[in-house]
Amino acid sequence: MTILQCAGFRRLALGMAALLGLSASAAAQSGQHATDSSDVAKVVESYHAAEAGGDSTAMLALLDDDAVILEGGGIETKVDFRSHHIAADIAFIRAVQTTRSPIRVRVREDAAWATSTSTAQGNVNGRAVNSVGAELMVLTRTSSGWKITAIHWSSRARRAP
């Protein structure tokens, strides 16, 4: 299956195009409420709390069935993530000290994106970690609330002071 045949990737691409195509004034006119931003931030925070607590079931419940996870130059579906990646993410976050910036949320009708940065320091499997990272989560409003439809993580080694 090519990347363009992946339903999750097509959904992400279409969603991002729609998000970028909407203007701020259109969002303001659509009657978005401050609670939307708060609800989106709560989903992102719940994801991180579940990860820190080692609760993969709660993490997966926050992901839409068609969610995609982009990290390290690869794209994974929710099924891929569940089968071989989620345990490593939980182990990593539990092994390092992570400090996150405040979450910045933007809502456009039934789509939202949340961005944040982080620093991580610690030791994972005998390897010293001292990195900075960025996170983008794209969420969609569903009948059961906001669901994460895409996550993109990037990181790099921290520069020495």
pTM score: 0.78
Joined tokens for residue 26: 């259109």
| Digitized pLDDT (tens) for each residue of the chain, 161 residues in all | 444 445 554 454 444 444 444 434 344 434 456 799 999 999 999 999 999 999 999 999 999 999 999 999 999 999 999 998 999 999 999 999 999 999 999 999 999 999 999 999 999 989 999 999 999 999 999 999 999 999 999 999 987 66
For the purposes of burial, counting CB atoms within 10 Å of the CB of 127, is it exposed (0-12), middle (13-18) or buried (19 or more)?
exposed
Cα–Cα distance, 90 to 110 (Å, whole number): 29
- DSSP-derived letter for residue 101 is P
Name, in order, each residue with C-beta under 8 angstroms of 73's C-beta and a sequence gap of 6 or more: none
32: which DSSP letter?
-
User: Is 3-157 a domain of CATH 3.10.450.50?
Assistant: yes
